[in-house]
Amino acid sequence: MAEMVKKATRESYGLALAELGDRYPNVVVLDADLAEATKTVIFKKKFPERFIDCGIAECNMVGVAAGLATCGKIPFATSFAMFSTGRAFEQVRNSVGYPHLNVKIVGSHAGISVGEDGATHQCLEDLALMRTIPGMVVLNPADHYEMQAAVKAAIEHYGPVYIRLGRLAVESFNNNDDYHFEIGKGITLRDGRDITVIATGLMVSRAREAVKELEKEGIDARLINLHTLKPIDRDIIVKAAKETGKIVTVEEHNVIGGLGDAVCGVLSEEYPTPVVKIGVNDQFGHSGPAVDLLEQYGLCASHIAEVTRQALKK
Amino acid sequence: MEQKEKRALQVAACKIRIGAIEGVYHAKSGHPGGSLSAADIFADLYFRELHVDPKNPKDENRDRFVLSKGHTCPGLYAALALKGYFPWDELKKLRHIGAMLQGHPDMKGTPGIDMSTGSLGQGVSAACGMALAGKLDGKSYRVYSLLGDGEIEEGQVWEAAMFAGHHKLDNLCLIVDNNGLQIDGPVEEVGGPQPIGEKFQAFGFDVQNIDGHDFDAIDAAFAHAKTVKGKPSVIVAKTIKGKDVSFMENQVGWHGKAPNDEQYQVAMRDLNKVLSGLEAE
Task: Give a three-class secondary structure readout of chain A.
Answer: CCCCCEEEHHHHHHHHHHHHCCCCCCEEEEECCCHHHHCCHHHHHHCHHHEEECCCCHHHHHHHHHHHHHCCCEEEEEEEHHHHHHHCHHHHHHHHHCCCCCCEEEEECECHHHCCCCHHHCECCHHHHHHCCCCCEEECCCCHHHHHHHHHHHHHCCCCEEEECCCCEEECCCCCCCCCCCCCCCEEEECCCCEEEEECCCHHHHHHHHHHHHHHCCCCEEEEECCEEECCCHHHHHHHHHHHCCEEEEEEEECCCCHHHHHHHHHHHHCCCCEEEEEECCCCCCCCCHHHHHHHCCCCHHHHHHHHHHHHHC
Q: What is the pLDDT of residue B72?
A: 98
Yes or no: say if A231 and A265 are a contact pair by the CB < 8 Å rule: no
Q: Is the pLDDT of residue A274 over 70?
A: yes
Chain B interface, Cβ < 8 Å to A: 60, 64, 66, 106-108, 114-116, 118-119, 121-134, 136-137, 155-156, 159-160, 162-163, 166
* A94 neighbourhood in chain B, CB within 8 Å: 116, 118-119, 122
Inspect the interface and report whether the beta carbons of B126 and A71 lie closer than 8 Å.
no
Burial call A24-36: b when 16+ CB within 10 Å, e when fewer: eebbbbbbbebbe
pLDDT digits (tens, 9 = 90+) for A23-71: 999 999 999 999 999 999 999 999 999 999 999 999 999 999 999 999 9
Q: Nearest 5 degrees, angle CA B214-CA B216-CA B217?
A: 65
Strand partners, A195: A221
- What are residue A106's phi and psi, to 5 degrees? -125, 130
A135: left (phi over 0), alpha (psi -120 to 50) or beta: left
- What are residue B201's phi and psi, to 5 degrees? -60, -40
Q: Which of A55, A59, A65 comes nearest B129 by C-beta? A: A65
Q: Catalytic pick from A3, A19, A49, A58?
A: A58
Inspect the interface and report whether the beta carbons of A66 and B114 lie closer than 8 Å.
no
A146: left (phi over 0), alpha (psi -120 to 50) or beta: alpha
Q: What is the pLDDT of residue A3?
A: 66
Q: Is B114 helix (H, G, I), strand (E, B) or coil?
A: coil
pLDDT digits (tens, 9 = 90+) for A148-205: 999 999 999 999 999 999 999 999 999 888 899 999 999 999 999 999 999 999 999 9
Yes or no: say if A172 and A143 are a contact pair by the CB < 8 Å rule: yes
Q: What is the pLDDT of residue A314?
A: 86
What is the average per-residue pLDDT within B250-266? 97
State the complex-level ipTM: 0.97
Q: Is the pLDDT of residue A2 over 90?
A: no
Q: Which of B222, B67, B60 is nearest to B134 (CA)?
A: B60
The average confidence (pLDDT) of chain B is 97
Q: Are strands A221-225 and A104-108 parallel, antiparallel or unpaired?
A: unpaired
Inspect the interface and report whether the beta carbons of A63 and B136 lie closer than 8 Å.
no
pLDDT digits (tens, 9 = 90+) for B132-141: 999 999 999 9
Question: In angstroms, what separates the C-alpha of A134 from chain B's closest C-alpha?
Answer: 14
Q: What is the pLDDT of residue A4?
A: 74
Q: What is the pLDDT of residue B98?
A: 96
pLDDT digits (tens, 9 = 90+) for B58-67: 999 999 999 9
Q: What is the CATH number of domain A6-171?
A: 3.40.50.970
pLDDT digits (tens, 9 = 90+) for B122-131: 999 999 999 9
Chosen for mutation from A33, A50, A60, A95 (greatest number of chain B CBs closer than 10 Å) is A60
* B118 neighbourhood in chain A, CB within 8 Å: 94
Chain A interface, Cβ < 8 Å to B: 28, 49-50, 52, 54-55, 57, 59-60, 62-73, 75, 90-91, 94-95, 98-100
Q: Which of B76, B159, B67 is nearest to B120 (CA)?
A: B67
Alpha carbon distance A278, A202 (integer Å):
13
Is residue A146 part of the annotated active site? The answer reads no
Domain with CATH 3.40.50.920 in chain A: 187-308
- Structurally, at CATH architecture level, domain A187-308 sits in 3-Layer(aba) Sandwich (3.40)
Q: What is the pLDDT of residue A177?
A: 85
Chain B nearest-CA residue for A96: B116
Confidence of residue B142 (pLDDT cuts 50, 70, 90): very high
Share of chain B above pLDDT 90, in %: 98
Domain with CATH 3.40.50.970 in chain A: 6-171
Confidence of residue B240 (pLDDT cuts 50, 70, 90): very high
pLDDT digits (tens, 9 = 90+) for B78-123: 999 999 999 999 999 999 999 999 999 999 999 999 999 999 999 9
Q: What is the pLDDT of residue B243?
A: 98
Fold of B3-280: Rossmann fold (3.40.50)
A282: left (phi over 0), alpha (psi -120 to 50) or beta: left
Inspect the interface and report whether the beta carbons of A67 and B129 lie closer than 8 Å.
yes
Q: Which of B23, B31, B30, B29 is nearest to B93 (CA)?
A: B23
Q: Strand order of the sheet with strand B233-238? A: B64-67, B143-148, B172-178, B233-238, B206-211
Yes or no: say if B234 and B68 are a contact pair by the CB < 8 Å rule: no
